């Protein structure tokens, strides 16, 4: 049984603002039934002042998904759209007196639905493409694809490295065996063998060709998401571009937070749209300076 | 309001008579059964009695075929690892996609160790294809492990027949009968089953006691080596109190076998029929015509299982779900996926598992509460619209990402 706070239970058993909002002018749908979580957020926005007059939700999901949706609608009513966008997933969790770590994705879904609904009201397209592999770290919802890419990109060789870079394995540690397996596989590819107890890396290595034009475009995209990251107390820095792999450094509140992966996937999608090519975004822990010096 | 416990496939309450039988073995009967004095001797005799009580429940030919272990999981591991070590020339295992993790996780591990694991698929009702099974049976197969009854749906597998087929190619046959023992009559002496796992806490004995049935003549390699307990087949000083408890529980299960298969089965059917009649878009998963008498697994479309359980819990009703959220993963139960239950329903499956303590009044109360809960949650669901699913649920809900 999950250890839900009284606030979560209260919002689950007496959800506020549940059901269809007939005259909604901004609707955001996120999630899907196959994932077991889906949320539709409906907003009624006053066109002159941009104030959210009413907010309703419909949710297919577990107790914390329903509670997070209910909390979100309460939190944003009466706010302007810009104010509402300042509500972070952590704010939703805090409002509910906390969520179990495994359930934090429910608050992320709420935050995403909010972005989607506001984008819909403003006539913009909001997209957040999740490229999902098998879930390895259940505590922080990190999948095999991200772990594998990060190991490959940074030449990682220990579980501790992987935890430092992706946060995977930093919770209950029951996935350490799974992370080791990915390490073994990737290390074999690069002609090394996995040794238990290997020294964690200090720095990551790969360097390569950069292309000024591409980099300027990439910088521009990062610039466009920066305000949003700053609102959550974080920032992003471009570290390097190596072919189709873009290395970034997440700092401040974003670094290593459980949402880093989700945020990165959103940015990756934006970059792909801008560059019109398939690229991969990979978090590293080094600054561009130390990377340049190594290179 | 008295709590209503319909989660007996997860675990059962220890019968008060079982507790009573156990108590002396914590106090005056504390001896080590191996000791050469009267303290030990009395305990030794009590364990012998328990062994015979379990033998009787299983319909085993000899009481020496009963090995006490610490749980069902230990019995499963012991059986598979023993079969592999005893026949090093055979490198293949056959099992099913719907086994309990006690088997599946072990098999995943063994696969990494270099063994070939064949997973038998099930159809939409959770049934095996025996033709597929026959094709896989070769002289390379060391052991076949197939559960007697599935813990989520209660569906039986034809293990007696499958054991015969395994023997024809010289493979050993193990069955995880953790859910079946105590609920259906067994007569192992008339079968070719070599090994069978039992877990005490599923039949009103305590947690942390199990049995591995090992047919006489079956080659065996112990998992725990050490003292000569259990004839050297499972070292470690006996958990005497729990063994005595399991013996008593086995005796009581045998006495209530008819009750379980008539009265309990009727209550289960009443519960199921009434819920299906009252709740639109709900259906039974598994093979309704061939399953445990106490189990009903119902899928409620377009809502999520954990939310149902939380609501039930508020009404004092305990059940369980194959939903992803209850396990902390993002995938619904492997059993539901193996049967190809669509995602629209797999997340909303609820298992009601009764016991001989379940009453008609309890069942009536659940029948009254469940339809309300389902209706309430569907009101919140974006896939539900009024009295039925939103027209074309896939299109009604158009997420920006999936
Ligand atoms: C089919 C099956 N096998 C094995 C087990 C594990 O038994 P134990 O909890 O005694 O290890 C269970 C219990 O959940 C089960 O249902």
Residues in A closer than 8 angstroms to B314, CB to CB, are 13
Beta carbon of B31 within 6 Å of any ligand 1 atom: no
pLDDT of residue A295: 36
A93: CATH:
3.90.1010.10
A264, A255 contact by CB (below 8 A): no
Domain coordinates of chain B in residue numbers?
Answer: 16-255, 257-396
Q: How far apart are CA B262 and CA B254, in angstroms?
A: 14
Beta carbon of B71 within 6 Å of any ligand 1 atom: yes
- Which stretch of A259-268, B18-27, B146-155, B332-341 has the lowest confidence by average pLDDT? A259-268
pLDDT of residue A42: 96
- The more confident residue out of A133 and A288 is A133
Contact status of A62 with chain B (Cβ, < 8 Å): yes
- The more confident residue out of A229 and B181 is B181
Architecture of domain B16-255: 3-Layer(aba) Sandwich (3.40)
Is A35 among the residues known to form the active site?
yes
Q: Which atom belonging to ligand 1 lies closest to the Cα atom of B99?
A: 1
- Listed in sequence order, the residues at least 6 apart from A177 whose beta carbon sits closer than 8 Å to its beta carbon are none
pLDDT of residue B13: 97
Average pLDDT score over residue span B254-281: 97
- Which stretch of A206-210, A245-249, B84-88 has the lowest confidence by average pLDDT? A206-210
A258: CATH:
3.30.300.130
Average pLDDT score over residue span A87-111: 84
In a domain, A277, yes or no: yes
User: What is the ipTM metric for this complex?
Assistant: 0.79
pLDDT of residue B331: 67
In chain A, the number of structural domains is: 3
Contact status of A282 with chain B (Cβ, < 8 Å): no
With a cut of 50, say whether residue B69 has pLDDT above it: yes
B12, B355 contact by CB (below 8 A): yes
In a domain, A127, yes or no: no
Residues in B closer than 8 angstroms to A37, CB to CB, are 304
In a domain, A128, yes or no: no
Confidence of residue A235 (pLDDT cuts 50, 70, 90): confident
pLDDT of residue A104: 74
Residue in chain A nearest B318 by alpha carbon:
A1
With a cut of 50, say whether residue B390 has pLDDT above it: yes
Which residue of A9, A13, A38 is in closest CB contact with B382? A38
Is the domain of A113 the same as that of A147? no
Residue in chain A nearest B333 by alpha carbon:
A36
Beta carbon of B73 within 6 Å of any ligand 1 atom: yes
Residues in B closer than 8 angstroms to A61, CB to CB, are 304, 307, 325
Is the domain of A185 the same as that of A222? no
Which residue of B307, B328, B401 is in closest CB contact with A138? B328
Average pLDDT score over residue span B295-302: 96
**Ramachandran region of residue B297, left (φ > 0), alpha (ψ -120 to 50) or beta?**
beta
* % of residues, chain B, pLDDT over 70: 95
Best residue of A61, A99, A113 to probe chain B, by most B CBs closer than 10 Å:
A61
A159: CATH:
1.10.10.1100
Average pLDDT score over residue span A198-221: 64
pLDDT of residue B398: 61
Architecture of domain B257-396: Alpha-Beta Complex (3.90)
With a cut of 70, say whether residue B399 has pLDDT above it: no
pLDDT of residue A79: 96
With a cut of 60, say whether residue B273 has pLDDT above it: yes
Confidence of residue B103 (pLDDT cuts 50, 70, 90): very high
Average pLDDT score over residue span B53-66: 98
Query: Chain B: nearest CA to A97, how far in angstroms?
Result: 18
Residue in chain A nearest B323 by alpha carbon:
A36
Across the interface, whether the CB atoms of A34 and B343 are under 8 A apart is answered yes
pLDDT digits (tens, 9 = 90+) for B326-350: 555 556 789 999 999 988 899 999 9
With a cut of 90, say whether residue B10 has pLDDT above it: yes
Q: Residue A71 in 3-state DSSP?
A: helix
Q: How far apart are CA A284 and CA A165, in angstroms?
A: 6
Per-window interface: B 361-380 vs A, CB < 8 A: 379-380
Residues in B closer than 8 angstroms to A41, CB to CB, are none
- Which stretch of A248-252, A285-289, B42-46 has the lowest confidence by average pLDDT? A285-289
Is the domain of A117 the same as that of A139? no
Confidence of residue A111 (pLDDT cuts 50, 70, 90): confident
pLDDT digits (tens, 9 = 90+) for A155-199: 889 998 888 787 788 777 788 989 999 999 999 998 988 887 776
Q: How far apart are CA B384 and CA B394, in angstroms?
A: 11
> Across chain A, how many H-helices and E-strands are there?
11, 8
Range of the domain at A139: 135-189
Query: Which pairs with CB-CB distance under 8 Å and at least 24 residues apart come from A202-206?
Result: A203/A285, A203/A286, A203/A290, A203/A291, A203/A294, A204/A153, A204/A154, A204/A155, A204/A156, A204/A247, A204/A284, A204/A285, A204/A286, A204/A291, A205/A154, A205/A155, A205/A294, A206/A153, A206/A154, A206/A155, A206/A240, A206/A242, A206/A245, A206/A247
Average pLDDT score over residue span A55-69: 93
- The more confident residue out of B234 and A295 is B234
Across the interface, whether the CB atoms of A19 and B380 are under 8 A apart is answered yes
Average pLDDT score over residue span A245-263: 70
Residues in A closer than 8 angstroms to B399, CB to CB, are 29-32, 38
Confidence of residue A207 (pLDDT cuts 50, 70, 90): very low
pLDDT of residue A241: 83
Across chain A, mean pLDDT equals 81
- Of A5-9, A234-238, B208-212, B326-330, where does the model show the most confidence? B208-212
A137, A171 contact by CB (below 8 A): yes
Residue in chain A nearest B304 by alpha carbon:
A61
Q: Which residue has the tokens 């009854």?
A: B149
Q: Which of A64, A63, A13 is nearest to B307 (CA)?
A: A63
Across chain B, mean pLDDT equals 94
- The more confident residue out of A254 and B172 is B172
pLDDT digits (tens, 9 = 90+) for B154-205: 999 999 999 999 999 999 999 999 999 999 999 999 999 999 999 999 999 9
Across the interface, whether the CB atoms of B402 and A32 are under 8 A apart is answered yes
């Amino acid at each position: 049984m999950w250890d839900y706070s009284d606030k979560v239970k209260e919002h689950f058993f007496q959800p506020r603002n549940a059901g269809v909002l007939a005259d909604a002018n901004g609707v955001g749908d996120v999630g899907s039934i196959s994932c077991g979580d889906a949320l539709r957020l409906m907003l009624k926005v006053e066109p002159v002042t941009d104030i959210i007059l009413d907010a309703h939700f419909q949710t297919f999901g577990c107790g914390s998904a329903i509670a997070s949706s209910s909390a979100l609608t309460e939190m944003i009513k009466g706010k302007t759209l810009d104010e509402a966008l300042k509500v972070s997933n952590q704010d939703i969790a805090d409002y509910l007196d906390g969520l179990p770590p495994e359930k934090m994705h429910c608050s992320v879904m709420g935050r995403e639905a909010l972005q989607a609904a506001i984008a819909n009201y403003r006539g913009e397209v909001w997209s957040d493409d999740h490229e999902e592999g098998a879930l390895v770290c259940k505590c922080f919802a990190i999948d095999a694809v991200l772990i594998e890419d990060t190991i490959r990109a940074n030449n990682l060789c220990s579980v501790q490295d992987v935890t430092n870079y992706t946060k995977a394995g930093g919770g209950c540690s029951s996935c350490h065996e799974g992370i080791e397996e990915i390490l073994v596989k990737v290390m074999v590819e690069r002609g090394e063998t996995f040794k238990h107890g290997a020294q964690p890396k200090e720095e990551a290595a790969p360097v390569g060709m950069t292309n000024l034009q591409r980099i300027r475009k990439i910088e521009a995209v990062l610039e466009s998401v920066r305000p949003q990251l700053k609102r959550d107390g974080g920032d992003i820095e471009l570290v390097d571009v190596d072919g189709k792999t873009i290395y970034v450094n997440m700092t401040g509140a974003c670094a290593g937070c459980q949402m880093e992966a989700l945020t990165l996937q959103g940015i990756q999608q934006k970059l792909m749209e801008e560059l019109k090519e398939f690229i991969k975004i990979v978090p590293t822990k080094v600054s561009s300076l130390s990377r340049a010096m190594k290179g | 309001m008295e709590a209503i416990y319909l989660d007996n496939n997860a675990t059962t309450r220890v019968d008060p008579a079982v507790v009573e039988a156990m108590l002396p073995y914590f106090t005056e009967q504390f001896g080590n059964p191996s000791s050469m004095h009267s303290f030990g001797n009395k305990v030794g005799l009590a364990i012998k009695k328990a062994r015979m009580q379990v033998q009787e429940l299983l319909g085993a030919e000899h009481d020496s075929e009963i090995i006490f272990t610490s749980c069902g999981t230990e019995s499963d591991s012991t059986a598979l690892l023993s079969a592999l070590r005893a026949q090093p020339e055979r490198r293949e295992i056959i099992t099913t996609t719907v086994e309990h993790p006690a088997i599946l996780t072990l098999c995943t591990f063994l696969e990494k160790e270099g063994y070939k694991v064949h997973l038998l698929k099930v159809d939409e009702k959770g049934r095996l294809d025996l033709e597929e099974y026959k094709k896989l049976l070769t002289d390379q197969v060391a052991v076949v492990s197939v559960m007697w009854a599935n813990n989520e749906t209660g569906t039986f597998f034809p293990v007696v027949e499958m054991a015969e087929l395994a023997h024809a190619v010289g493979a050993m046959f193990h069955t995880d009968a953790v859910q079946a023992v105590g609920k259906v009559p067994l007569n192992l002496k008339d079968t070719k089953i070599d090994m069978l796992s039992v877990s005490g806490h599923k039949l009103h004995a305590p947690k942390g006691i199990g049995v591995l049935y090992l047919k006489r003549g079956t080659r065996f390699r112990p998992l725990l080596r050490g003292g000569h307990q259990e004839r050297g087949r499972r070292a470690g000083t006996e958990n005497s109190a729990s063994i005595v408890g399991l013996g008593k529980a086995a005796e009581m299960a045998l006495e209530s076998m008819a009750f379980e298969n008539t009265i309990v089965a009727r209550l289960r059917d009443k519960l199921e029929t009434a819920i299906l009649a009252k709740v639109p878009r709900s259906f039974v998963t598994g093979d309704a015509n061939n399953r445990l008498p106490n189990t009903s697994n119902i899928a409620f479309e377009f809502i999520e299982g954990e939310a149902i359980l939380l609501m039930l819990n508020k009404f004092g009703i305990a059940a369980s779900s194959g939903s992803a959220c209850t396990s902390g993963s993002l995938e619904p139960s492997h059993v539901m996926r193996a049967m190809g239950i669509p995602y629209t329903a797999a997340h909303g499956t609820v298992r009601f598992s009764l016991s001989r303590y379940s009453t008609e009044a309890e069942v009536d109360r659940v029948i009254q509460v469940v339809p309300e809960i389902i209706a309430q949650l569907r009101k919140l669901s974006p896939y539900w619209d009024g009295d039925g699913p939103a027209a074309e649920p896939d299109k009604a809900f158009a997420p920006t990402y999936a």
